[in-house]
Amino acid sequence: MTEPRNALVTGGNRGLGRSTARALAHRGIKVALTYRSGASGAAETVRMIEEEGGEAFALRLDIGDAGSFRGFAAELTGELLDRWGHDRLDVLVNNAGTGLFDALEEVTPERFDEQVGVNFRGTFFLIQALVPHLADGGRIVNVSTSLTRHVSPGTSVYAASKAAVEALTRSLAGELGPRGIRVNAVAPGPSATDFNGGAMRDDPELRDFLAAHTALGRVGSPEEIGDAIAALVSPGMRWVTAQRLEVSGGALL
């Protein structure tokens, strides 16, 4: 199995998505990335990759709008063919998601549906739309969370939506295995990103608390998550599928 030629990273306009896109590009992989409303951030990610010697482009995609996925698949494969001469996708990283954190009594049906609709339903139907265009021997990485293992107040719906993604990962690994497609989940732990309003990045007390309860004594960086995803899709991990890889520095053991 050779190094993949190209990858799609959803939500590549900031945070973990940007770090993943850059980490893949550092390995010589050409990257398509998506954004929903952060067009300027997506353009910044593309600029960073190109300045670092890579190739990338960005397309708009709303993960909450499953009805748009077939059209997006046609747009993506057309761009791949026009830009890079082949219309098969080698790597799909399902990173885009949403986190709405409410106590049990504060959860509304609308906020519940938004989280499940984006994090689980969106991931499921995007995979469904893109699998016909995924090369045999391709790789799918679904981004989960360490919160499927440990608990934190107000995260019940978010964690449950990501637990569903982990179950989907295992099921699809079996279903797509005959095509040589590997399907894994990466579960980031506490990381200093702009997720949840940048709480982990901007709140020193929160960072200090979590660092004190992490085996490696600190919170993670988005670059460390991106590097783990890039390593997971590499040929050296060719015998790894249906797995949940937690990248948390040993948080809350």
Q: Is the dihedral of CA 87, 13, 187, 107 positive or negative?
A: negative
Nearest to 128 by CA among 84, 163, 94: 94
Q: Is the dihedral of CA 97, 80, 42, 29 positive or negative?
A: positive
Domain membership of residue 63 (yes or no) is: yes
The 134-143 sheet, strands edge to edge: 56-60, 30-35, 6-9, 89-94, 134-143, 182-188, 244-247
pLDDT, residue 192, reads 76
Task: Please state the length of the chain.
Answer: 253
| Positions marked active-site | 158
pLDDT, residue 194, reads 66
User: What is the domain extent for residue 188?
Assistant: 6-247
- Here the tokens at position 102 are 């409410």
Domain membership of residue 227 (yes or no) is: yes
Secondary structure of residue 109 in the 3-state scheme: helix
- Here the tokens at position 110 are 């609308």
Which amino acid is it at 158? Y
Domain membership of residue 253 (yes or no) is: no
Secondary structure of residue 57 in the 3-state scheme: strand
Domain membership of residue 236 (yes or no) is: yes
Domain membership of residue 79 (yes or no) is: yes
pLDDT, residue 106, reads 96
- Report the CATH number at residue 205: 3.40.50.720
Mean pLDDT, contiguous 10-residue spans, the chain (253 residues): 91 97 98 97 98 98 98 98 97 96 96 97 98 98 97 94 98 98 96 66 81 93 97 98 98 92
Number of domains observed in the structure of the chain: 1
- Identify the DSSP state of 42: H
DSSP character string of 58-108: EEE--TT-GGGHHHHHHHHHHHHHHHHS---EEEEEE---------GGG--
Rg (CA), the chain: 17
Is the pTM higher than 0.85? The answer reads yes
Domain membership of residue 1 (yes or no) is: no
pLDDT, residue 198, reads 60
